[in-house]
Amino acid sequence: MNSEIKDRRGTFAVRAALAAVVVGSLAACGTLPDPVTEESSALVSFNPRDFSTSVANPFFPLVPGTTYTFQVTLDTTSDQVITEITHQTRRILGVDTIVIHDRSLLKGKVVEDTLDFVKGDRFGNVRYFGEDTKELDENGSVVSTSGSFIAGTQGAAGPQILMEAQPKVGDVYFEEFAPKDEAEDQAEVTSLNKSISVPISLRALHGCVETHNFTQLEPDSKERKVYCRDFGVVVTDAIKGDPKHEALVSITHD
């Protein structure tokens, strides 16, 4: 995703301890990874039959025609993010994924343009099938496509998890795993009862899910995200590395 950290190449092995945590946590999501090598044992397996129906996840709504606008502060590279749940689909691994259009802007100019491909499964997990991302210069020319990948191609794993159906504090999981494409983001659930005040709501939001998001490719950077029921992500903060605060300010529907 455009708010994730994907700046350096690197390699790593998933430790057995992490695998044990993730295997245990994903049992509650209705799907378990296959018993394969240590490096891939923390990854969620893929079965296209799990997408024959899709159960809505209240912490990650996927309603086509919805546009979310975020105000970005403390960041010199962007001051606004616009995220649109489009009516478009893209077929990946036999699944018709929903296309999400993310744009990062600075002073009204698009500096990053990303298409994300996501789909909810029959258990209520929101799964991530890949992205097509472009970093643009001040003239609108593409200067990088780093982080672009499609699940199940060029050594990438199948679709991983953006939001669990039944998150639990301490759950650790991959959001994506495509080593050749510099896409190895992970998340850890740190709270299920977060309260937060954001511009989108006149009242504080309660009972929100908080995650810490990181990648072994960039060990000096880490973010926290807060997802609230019926809103989705409302805040993204840098908690390690370059400062950034991103807050949801509006939601519109076409």
Q: What is the pLDDT of residues 164-208, one digit of tens each?
A: 999 999 999 999 999 999 999 999 999 999 999 999 999 999 999
| Confidence at 1, pLDDT banded by 50, 70, 90 | low
At 42 the pLDDT is 83
What is the Cα–Cα distance from 51 to 54, expressed in whole angstroms? 6
Cα–Cα separations (whole angstroms), residue 103 to 22, 83, 112, 142, 252: 31, 6, 6, 14, 16
pTM confidence score: 0.84
Between 20 and 193, where is the model more confident? 193
Mean pLDDT for the chain overall: 88
Query: Domains in the chain, ordered, with CATH?
Result: 16-47+55-253 (2.40.360)
What is the Cα–Cα distance from 170 to 194, expressed in whole angstroms? 15
> In this structure, are residues 34 and 102 in contact, taking their beta carbons and an 8 Å threshold?
no
Instruction: Kindly report, residue by residue over 214-254, the tens digit of the pLDDT.
Output: 999 999 999 999 999 999 999 999 999 999 999 999 999 99
Any idea which of 23-32, 72-81, 224-233 has the lowest mean pLDDT?
23-32
What is the Cα–Cα distance from 56 to 165, expressed in whole angstroms? 9
Instruction: Kindly report, residue by residue over 112-134, the tens digit of the pLDDT.
Output: 999 999 999 999 999 999 999 99
At 205 the pLDDT is 98
